[in-house]
């Protein structure tokens, strides 16, 4: 299950310009330059979720969690900075792709955004 979800996330993330994958906190993590735009979180600290953590625009975290609490949650370490967790079993491909695209745009160097 988690392997299939990782491949799903990896395919979207690595299609983004200059994206790369390394491990952080024991989880596959996707970078543009030196900055993280998506972290795969497989049952992190036994929370029972197969999820991604990623940044969203300011203020959107609360809205997403309130509107679909079965899908969106506040992750540790970066939740207080406005990032959101997304339960992969609960999110459509289109929505996942949209969130990853936005996350990449939030952290990508300006030279990439202008292309």
Partner 1 sequence: MSYYDDPDNVAGYIAMAEGYDGRELVAALRRYLKDGAAVLELGMGPGKDLAMLGEHYEATGSDISAVFVDRYRRTHPEADLLVLDARTLETDRRFDAIYSNKVLQHLTRDEVRESFQRQAAVLNRSGLALHTFWRGEGEEIFSGLLNVYYTEEQLRALAADSFEVIELRRYAEMDEDDSLLLLMRRKPAPGGQPS
Q: Closest CB to partner 1 among 53 and 92?
A: 53
- Whole-angstrom distance, CA of residue 69 vs CA of residue 113: 31
> Rule CB under 8 A: which residues touch partner 1?
2-3, 6, 21-26, 28-29, 34-36, 39, 42-48, 53, 55, 75-81, 83
**Smallest separation, CB 45 to partner 1 (Å):** 4
Q: Are 51 and 62 in contact (CB under 8 A)?
A: no
Q: Closest CB to partner 1 among 21 and 90?
A: 21
Q: Closest CB to partner 1 among 42 and 101?
A: 42
What is the phi/psi pair of residue 18, to 5°?
55, 30
> Mutual orientation of helices 93-107 and 2-13 as an angle, nearest 10°?
50
């Amino acid at each position: 299950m988690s392997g299939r979800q990782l491949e799903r996330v990896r395919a979207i993330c690595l299609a983004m310009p200059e994206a790369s994958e390394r491990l952080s906190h024991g989880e596959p993590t996707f970078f543009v330059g030196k900055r993280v735009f998506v972290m795969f979180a497989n049952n992190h600290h036994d929370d029972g979720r197969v999820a991604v953590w990623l940044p969203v625009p300011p203020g959107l975290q609360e809205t997403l969690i309130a509107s679909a609490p079965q899908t969106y949650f506040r992750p540790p370490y970066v939740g207080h900075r406005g990032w959101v967790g997304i339960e992969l079993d609960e999110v459509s491909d289109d929505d996942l792709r949209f969130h990853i695209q936005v996350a990449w745009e939030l952290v990508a160097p300006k030279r990439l955004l202008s292309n």
